[in-house]
């Protein structure tokens, strides 16, 4: 899907009353839009083993960031790093998940 179509779809949802739209695009990153801001977040690129659970990890981490009262952009950056960490494993439960690693990646 083109960037123009993504933006148009997001605007349509905002016009319908949705407050914030976040579109995940896998290895291409994500796009977010609300009434105050919009932007593209690039994926860093990792050696992917299994994408199972990446979307769930992204959404969960996004909620964590927002609950910590981080900005939308910072929350999406964090969610991107968590999802990228998860896809480097080969099960839906990443046994070596370590938030300290995620926080270090988030600060870089």
Whole-structure pTM value = 0.81
Count of structural domains, the chain: 1
Q: Say whether 50 is catalytic.
A: no
Considering the chain, what is the average pLDDT of its residues?
Answer: 87
Report which DSSP code applies to 74: H
| Burial track 71-94 (b if 16+ CB lie within 10 A, e otherwise) | ebeebbbbbbbbbbbbbebeeeeb
Which one from 15, 47, 56, 77 is the annotated catalytic residue?
56
% the chain with pLDDT above 70? 82
Task: Look at 51 and 92; give whichever has higher pLDDT.
Answer: 51
Q: Which structural domain range is residue 57 located in?
A: 3-107
What's 7's domain CATH number?
3.40.1190.20
pLDDT single digits (tens) 17-33: 999 999 999 889 999 99
Give the pLDDT band of residue 42 (cuts 50, 70, 90): very high
pLDDT at 12: 98
């Amino acid at each position: 899907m083109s960037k123009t179509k993504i933006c148009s779809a997001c605007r349509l949802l905002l016009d319908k009353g949705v407050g914030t739209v976040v579109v995940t695009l896998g290895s291409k990153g994500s796009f977010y839009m609300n009434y105050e801001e919009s932007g593209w977040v690039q994926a860093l690129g990792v050696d992917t083993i299994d994408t199972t659970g990446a979307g769930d990890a992204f959404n969960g981490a996004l909620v964590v960031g927002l609950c910590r009262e981080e900005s939308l952009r910072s929350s999406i950056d964090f969610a991107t790093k968590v999802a990228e960490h998860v896809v480097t494993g080969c099960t839906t439960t990443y046994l070596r998940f370590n938030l300290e690693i995620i926080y270090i990646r988030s600060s870089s």
